[in-house]
Amino acid sequence: MIAGRAGIVTGASRGLGRATALVLAARGADVVACARDEAALAQTASLANGLPGRVITQRCDVTVEGDVVAAVRRCERDLGPLRYVVANAGHQVERRLHETTNDDWAAVEAVNARGVFWCAKHSIEAMLEHGLGGSIVVVASAVSLTADPNLAAYTSSKHAALGIVRTIAADRGYAAVGIRANAVCPGDMETPMVRQYLDSHDDPERARREIESAYPVERIAAPEEVAAVIAFLVSDDASFMTGAPVPVDGGILSTLYTHA
């Protein structure tokens, strides 16, 4: 059950964040859709017209702690007690470790690790105050459970995100009041981030075919497929799940190697 519950989705201006906001609203949840791009956020809200749940927008840069605090306050002021947060905002730099600059590392960590920390910290403070429990869902990655040598900073930051989830789940004080935390670990999806990665290749279609061939299902995911799993983790149907990394990866983590 998630109908009538209020919460926050970061990175909701496009891709998985937008799909998650719409899936939650379709199931009756109220959503503060957060991102830096206010025009794109307005499109997310427009797409939610007519859905059972309300979608309101809030400009939020997760690398700015005050923005995260403001998003939590907006939820509680305009929609009701914060019952869930989906920490989805992400940043990726494609470089091997020795090629990664300090600025690369800092930019990725600021969004994927520190931003997740602030989303969790300030959401937990609100959940502890109202005592109704809540669900924290972090969008981690398949590389939270393995590694990509060409995504050194991203891989490291997504391992950190999973560590935050497990730390929350291990805290008996949080568990006692019904606060849960889980991580969704997607593979590649049809998102702007993946399309940007493909477009960086000389032959984007060939790059797509190579990526898709690595998956046993021989395709990448639609964002809505991952959003449905996030909605499950937000809901009471997942009431005994906490601290779990949940792969939504088309089977890629099940393979030692693949060949065409």
Q: Which residues are catalytic?
A: 154
Name residues whose C-beta falls within 8 Å of residue 224's C-beta, 6 or more positions apart in sequence.
19, 23
Q: Are 35 and 10 in contact (CB under 8 A)?
A: yes
> How far is residue 142's CA from residue 98's CA, in Å, rounded to a whole number?
22
The DSSP element (H or E) to which 104 belongs, if any, is helix 102-109
The residue count for the chain: 260
87 three-class SS: strand
Dihedral-angle region of residue 96 (phi above 0 means left; psi in -120 to 50 means alpha; beta otherwise): beta
> How far is residue 112's CA from residue 92's CA, in Å, rounded to a whole number?
9
Spatial strand order of the sheet with 6-10 comes to 55-59, 30-35, 6-10, 82-87, 134-139, 179-186, 245-248
| 55-59 and 82-87 strand pairing | unpaired
